[in-house]
Amino acid sequence: MAGVALLREIMRSGGPDTRTTFAPGRLRFVLETVEHGKAPRAVAASMVKALGDLIGSRKFDLEPLFEDTDPDGTVFVVMSIRGVDRTLPPDRLYAIAEEIRRSLKLVSCEPDIGADAYVDPEEETPPGTESAVVDGYCWTSGDAPNDKMWALASTNVPGAWAISPSMGAGVIIAQPDTGITDHPEVRDAKLDLDISLNILEGGKDPTDPLRPGTANPGHGTGTGSVAAGGRGGSIAGSAPKATLVPIRCIEDVKIFDGSPVAKAIDYAVSIGAHVITMSLGGIASRSMKKAIRKAVERDLIVLAAAGNCIGLVVWPAAFDDVIAVGGSNIKDERWQGSSFGSKIDFCAPAEFVWRAERKSTADSKGLVSGGQGTSFAVALTAGIAALWLSRFGRQAVAKEARRRSTSVQELFRAAARQSARRPTQWGIGLGAGVIDANALLSLPLKDILSVPKTTSAAEAGGIESALRSVLGPGTFDTRFDYSANGAELSALLIADAKAGRRTGETAAEARSFKRASRGLMEAAGLSADPRLAQISLRSGLAAPALVTKDTVGKDRLAATIKRVASIASGTGGGPQEAARKTAKDAQDTLDTKGRQRIMKPLHDRLAHSGNQEFANDLETMEGSLERLHRDGPSADLSDHEAVQLEALVSLTDRPALKVFWREEKRGRVQTIDASDRALGGFEFAVNNALPALESSRLGSVGRIDLDGTHVGTGFVVADGLVVTNRHVVESIASPIPRAENPKTWVLNSAATIDFSPSANDPDSRFAISAVRFAGPKPILSFPIDYDKLDLAVLEVDRRSATKRPLPKSIPISTDVAFVKAAVSLCVIGYPAPPQTLPRDERDLVRRDVVDRLRDIFGVDYHIKYFSPGLVQALENHWVFDHDATTIAGNSGSVVTTLEGNFNAIGLHFAGDWLRANHAHILAEVLAAVPELHKLLLKTV
């Protein structure tokens, strides 16, 4: 089901809605049309009948996005669906939007998809579920400089204050952000709350509610203090006497919607603001681009953060009309998380910038700290722009711009670039240098060079720059309909960039696997630019939580020592004995003899392969093991070395063995090679469990596909019922009308489960017909919330298309004693290529991680694997950790014991490759959820 038919289905469960049109998470579309001579409200009113007839329902609200009539007749109308949250995946939202656009003959129709493209990093960003594209660690370790004014000094703001003691007085800085909260560093700023606005909840009050669970609560308070905080506290903004007007238009910096941001920009123009600072970012938006163009034409300076932890410059900074600000540090180098590229105009401090901090209502109101992110770079620059306008006078600046047939925006951009301080060894893609407020204010208007004339030439809104950044140069297709497809295309490019793809990296490992709508795929197929076809050929596999940090903590090394000791002990006790060792005992095991035991099978492998690169790896490993023996968890190991040692375990005692068919008299059975030497200490346990594995374990685990594309794993627990993760179900179905405690689920498209080892056998493929149960709360990328139930039950056909019966049910264990000991277990599932790869300090893909994965899995992904491991720890009442090798695609895998009755003890739901993996304790889940116990009663 797709397009308007799907919208009709979900609207049946809609109803009254007291929320505002722009409430976070509400299902919403922005319609663009051209109506000369009609007021926007009249246009909206005229659309009601046509939309109602198309959708078959009037359960929606229509209102103009902008109140003013545009000279070229362009009108943007917002359609919000009453009582329905945005729970459909982006490709389905774009399919609906495309059908509405074609049916109503609109210029464009864009959904607000809640794009995850921007985040100001926090020091301890935890890993997420295997379904999430996780932001790479880009937090710089260490402490903020003692000098709380260092960022102002780095940009020579004190010198600018001396030149212009007005310090921005008379200049209005509009700040679309999360709003503000009570904090002395903002309280002493010149706030004008009489003209502020709350677009999300309605009214004028822009108070940030500091809701728990949002990314960077208090974000607007921090950025506002950097731009315009007064001088009465412990820090100061760059324009302490400018007027700050907060506009609350985002709830969470990680969830970006174009329409409320566009409305905020338009509102800033209407109140006579002079500078707009946007510490936010996401995908391209036609309405946002239009609002920015209007602001520039009205002589506003419009600035946006380049983006963080992604590399690619995000929108609105990617628009040509916007000044894009990248991030530097105290050493005049690129802050390691800053986006970069040709779109960057210049940089400003983004590493340990002192700002007001208040993340919850319980926090002290006077706290300040060193924040990181281009959010602070652009906020600081906005204050400098206010200093510049105040120094020369806005009328004089506008007059000079008119004389040159340009805009105030372009005049400021040229002046800031010309006067920027260019450090020695300044990196490529970081713009003209670090903005220098003193030099900027010392540069007479008449002496500004290279000011381009303002034109209204059509351009693809930054898409070509993004295509070049992600996929390299190509033949830009001016005939492609960017009006209809630009927003979705930008979302796919951002997803690829977040997954680790850069120019020249075409391997599947660096693709996001975000699905494209059918409309985009059809349009791209006709394009003369081959990059468009490449970016639009999307599957739907979710990505794992592959994240690394440059520094290696003691806890991680202590765990690595114990795991490596399972190979080095040589006592015959196997992995269980090693797991019970103390950290000191494990360290002692890595003596000369222990290291020799570890390295021997690897040297044997080297002798067989003759691979010189592998030989270099072994030399590095030997040195790392020696340092672990000598220094224990305090060893000075790079992340590269730590990954190698973690992979070392998976090359021996934590293998992933392929499942395959074996012919017998009674027919085919699925099995593994239990004689594989890589099993190490697990060899006895695996051979002992093999009859049970062959009878009803290995063959009862299947690969879940959406339209033939791998999205996860599931296993049979009752006649016609399969258990998997809720986050896997979120890939194939949508909760209606709310993501939390939905009334029902609607399958997004054709979903199947295939139980064959290859997952490519019609005899073993069964249609998924419904969602019978799912955990009540949506599963977020991170942080992992162990109290949430990431479990779902699917109803499947009892016969395949070729009339084969469903495989046997896997019995569920009711015993939870296993969590108290290092019990041997196995995970059975379908690993898939990693979607998110860590990067080094040069922003290059960490090939060592890719190589380690290839060592384990070769190039055979998407097929069934058996991976032994141990129970590691109990996280809470219904979650335990294990150390079996899993990556993306394993979500929903069964965890069974290799001891006792070999029954299912867990449901794998999340993991960080070769580190910690998490599973639900099935017995505890059944005991805690009566509805689920009743549904699966036959199995317990």
Distance CA 872, CA 894 (A): 17
Burial class of residue 931 in the structure, from the number of CB atoms within 10 Å of its CB (0-12 exposed, 13-18 middle, 19+ buried)? exposed
Q: Please, what are the domains in the chain?
A: 3-111 (3.30.70), 150-447 (3.40.50.200), 463-536 (no CATH), 554-650 (no CATH), 657-939 (2.40.10.120)
Q: In the prediction, which pLDDT does 212 show?
A: 86
What phi, psi does 793 have (nearest 5°)?
A: -120, 125
Distance CA 577, CA 220 (A): 52
Alpha-carbon distances, residue 114 vs 20, 110, 283 (angstroms): 16, 12, 9
Q: In which residue are the tokens 């210049």 written?
A: 346
| Half-sphere exposure of residue 553: CA atoms within 13 angstroms, side-chain side | 8
Residue 572 banded pLDDT, cuts 50, 70, 90? very low
Distance CA 867, CA 879 (A): 19
Checking if the pLDDT of 127 tops 90, the result is no
Q: In the prediction, which pLDDT does 518 show?
A: 80
Residue 468 banded pLDDT, cuts 50, 70, 90? confident
Distance CA 467, CA 450 (A): 27
pTM of the predicted structure, to 2 decimals: 0.80
Where b means 16+ CB within 10 Å and e means fewer, 219-252 reads bbbbbbbbbbbbeebebbbbbbbbbbbbbbbbbb
Q: In the prediction, which pLDDT does 513 show?
A: 56
Distance CA 69, CA 56 (A): 30
Structural contact between residues 274 and 394, judged by C-beta atoms closer than 8 angstroms: yes
H-helix segments, 858-921: none
SS3 416: helix
Q: In the prediction, which pLDDT does 643 show?
A: 63
Dihedral (Cα; 752, 754, 760, 763), 10-degree rounding: -100
Structural contact between residues 873 and 864, judged by C-beta atoms closer than 8 angstroms: no
Average pLDDT over residues 214-242: 94
Q: Which is higher by pLDDT, 575 or 166? A: 166
Q: In the prediction, which pLDDT does 917 show?
A: 81
Distance CA 301, CA 298 (A): 9
Distance CA 240, CA 252 (A): 26
Average pLDDT over residues 47-51: 95
Enumerate residues 6+ apart whose C-beta is below 8 A from 393.
Answer: none
Q: In the prediction, which pLDDT does 607 show?
A: 65
Tokens of 835: 């979607």
Q: In the prediction, which pLDDT does 507 show?
A: 34
Question: Out of 283-292, 344-353, 501-510, which region has the weakest mean confidence (pLDDT)?
Answer: 501-510
Q: In the prediction, which pLDDT does 479 show?
A: 87
- Closest by alpha carbon to 860, among 602, 670, 656, 605? 656
Distance CA 726, CA 794 (A): 10
Give me the percent of the chain exceeding a pLDDT of 90. Answer: 55
Q: In which residue are the tokens 């949506």 written?
A: 778
Convert the pLDDT of each residue in 390-446 to its tens digit.
Answer: 999 999 999 999 999 999 999 999 999 999 999 998 988 999 999 999 999 999 999
Enumerate residues 6+ apart whose C-beta is below 8 A from 63.
Answer: 21, 41, 44, 77, 78
Tokens of 811: 């019995």
CA 7 to mean position of chain CA atoms: 26
Residue 374 banded pLDDT, cuts 50, 70, 90? very high
Q: In the prediction, which pLDDT does 566 show?
A: 67
Percent of the chain as helix, strand, coil, to the nearest 5: 35, 20, 45
